[in-house]
Amino acid sequence: MISLDAKDQLYQLDITIPPQVSYINQAKKKNNWKHPPRISGEYVLFILTSGNLFLQEGDNEYHLTEGDVLLLDPTLLHRGTKPSSCTYYYIHFPTATLKKLEFSDDYAKTFLLANRSNSYNCNPFGYELYEQTRLIFPKQMRLEGKSSMTRISAQMQQAILASERRMDYFKVICSSCFLQIITELGSHYSDRILETATSHFTKTQVDLLQNLMTFIFANYTTHLSSLHFEKHFHMSFDYLNRLFGKKNNITLFAYINNLRINKAAELLIHENFKSYEIAERVGYRDEYYFSKVFKKHMGISPRKYKQIFQ
C-alpha cells in the first residue's frame, strides 16, 4: 500500500451505478466572505469560476483560483482561512459514490492506458466497457483552457435550473449532469497524465502522430497497405508503426481493423448491404477474410450479427 499525501489522493467512480446528488448549486461570494468551519459528512466538489478561495482541510491549505477543482473529504473539517470574493460551483454527494485509490499518478497510467486500449478494442454495441473502464480523477486539479470549463458550466446550469424549478425527474437530471461533469474531469486528468507519459516526443513526432490519425480516418474504409503509409509520409512503415504504438498502445493495423469492424457492425445493423458489399465499403478486398476478422472481434459471423441486432 502506498502512503499518499492527501493532496495527491485519487478517486474512482463506479460508472455502472448512476451517481446520486444531494445538492448542486452556484455560490457568488463578495469581499470579506470567509467559508465557515464545517464537516460535511459527504463529499463536496468545488469548481472555481472566478476570484479567490482560501480553504484549509485538515492539515492542508488550498488557494483556489479560476479553473481549480477541489474535492473535500466527508470526515475532515474544512474552513476558510482568508476573506475573499469568488464564484464557484459546488456539488454534494454521498460517500459511497467514490472509492479511494491507494496509488499515485505514476501507477494510474497503467489503468488509463488500459482504458484507452479497451476503447479501441471493445465492441461499441456491447456492454463490457462499463465493467472495464476505470474513471479516475484526483482530489485537486486545474482545468487548462476554456473548453472543459465551458462544458462543465453548461451541465451545472442545466442541473441547477432543473433543481430550482423542480422539473419532472430533476434528481435524475442532476445525476446525469453530475456524471458528465465527473467524466469531463476524468478525461481531463487522463489527457494530462498520458500526455506527461509521452512528453518525450518531439514536436515533429507529435505533429506526425496527428497527421497519422487524420490520414487513418480519411482512408480506413479503403484498402490500405504499409506501402500507402510509406508513400504518403515518405518514411518507413516500421517507424510509423512503432511511434503510433508507443503513443496509443496499439499497432496501426490493429487500430484500423477496429475502426473497420465497428463501421461494418454499424452497416450490418442499419443498412441492407450484402456481406461482400460491406467488406468492400470498410476496406477489405476479400469477403472471407473480412468474415474471419469480424468473427475474431465480435465473436460471431457478420450474418449472425445481422440476425441478432438488426
Asked if 160 and 210 sit in the same domain, the reply is: no
Q: Per residue, what are the HEC states of the chain? A: CCCCCHHHCEEEECCCCCCCCCEEEEEEEEEEECCCCECCCCEEEEEEEEECEEEEECCEEEEECCCEEEEECCCCCEEECCCEEEEEEEEEECHHHEEEECCCHHHHHHHHHHHHHHHHHCCCCCCHHHHHCCEEEECEEECCCCHHHHHHHHHHHHHHHHHHCCCCCHHHHHHHHHHHHHHHHHHHHHHHHHHHHCCCCCHHHHHHHHHHHHHHHHHCCCCCCHHHHHHHHCCCHHHHHHHHHHHHCCCHHHHHHHHHHHHHHHHHHHCCCCHHHHHHHCCCCCHHHHHHHHHHHHCCCHHHHHHHHC
Residue 280 — pLDDT band, cuts 50, 70, 90? very high
Strand pairing partners for 100?
11
| CA 132 from centre of chain | 13
280 or 201, greater pLDDT: 280
Alpha-carbon distances of 217 from 156, 169, 210, rounded to whole Å? 33, 39, 11
96 or 197, greater pLDDT: 96
pLDDT at 72 over 70: yes
Asked if 108 and 187 sit in the same domain, the reply is: yes
What is the CATH classification number for the domain harbouring 228?
Answer: 1.10.10.60
310 or 110, greater pLDDT: 110
Mean pLDDT in residue range 211-226:
94
pLDDT value, residue 192: 86
pLDDT at 215 over 90: yes
- Output the nine-digit C-alpha cell for 95: 460517500
Mean pLDDT in residue range 10-38:
95
What is the CATH classification number for the domain harbouring 136?
Answer: 2.60.120.280
pLDDT value, residue 309: 77
Domain boundary (132, 162, 197) is at 197
pLDDT value, residue 200: 72
Alpha-carbon distances of 144 from 52, 147, 150, 191, 308, rounded to whole Å? 17, 8, 11, 11, 44
Asked if 264 and 296 sit in the same domain, the reply is: yes
Mean pLDDT in residue range 207-228:
93
What percentage of the chain carries pLDDT values higher than 90?
70
Asked if 141 and 43 sit in the same domain, the reply is: yes
Sign of CA dihedral 175, 180, 181, 183: positive
- Residue 212 exposure: Cα atoms within 13 Å on the Cβ side: 26
Quote the number of domains for the chain. Answer: 2
pLDDT value, residue 198: 60
Mean pLDDT in residue range 50-59:
96
Asked if 224 and 150 sit in the same domain, the reply is: no
Over residues 103-132, the pLDDT tens digits come to: 888 888 888 988 888 887 777 777 888 988
Asked if 112 and 179 sit in the same domain, the reply is: yes
Asked if 10 and 109 sit in the same domain, the reply is: yes
Mean pLDDT in residue range 272-289:
92
Asked if 158 and 68 sit in the same domain, the reply is: yes
pLDDT at 2 over 60: no
Asked if 126 and 251 sit in the same domain, the reply is: no
Domain boundary (175, 197, 219) is at 197
Asked if 109 and 3 sit in the same domain, the reply is: yes
pLDDT at 164 over 80: yes
The answer to whether 292 touches 275, Cβ cutoff 8 Å, is no
pLDDT value, residue 13: 96
pLDDT at 77 over 90: yes
Asked if 291 and 248 sit in the same domain, the reply is: yes
Q: What is the rounded distance in angstroms from the CA atom of residue 115 to the CA atom of residue 13?
A: 14
pLDDT value, residue 240: 96
pTM: 0.79
Asked if 140 and 61 sit in the same domain, the reply is: yes
pLDDT value, residue 37: 97
Over residues 226-251, the pLDDT tens digits come to: 999 999 999 999 999 999 988 888 89
Domain boundary (173, 197, 221) is at 197
Residue 34: give the domain boundaries.
Answer: 1-197
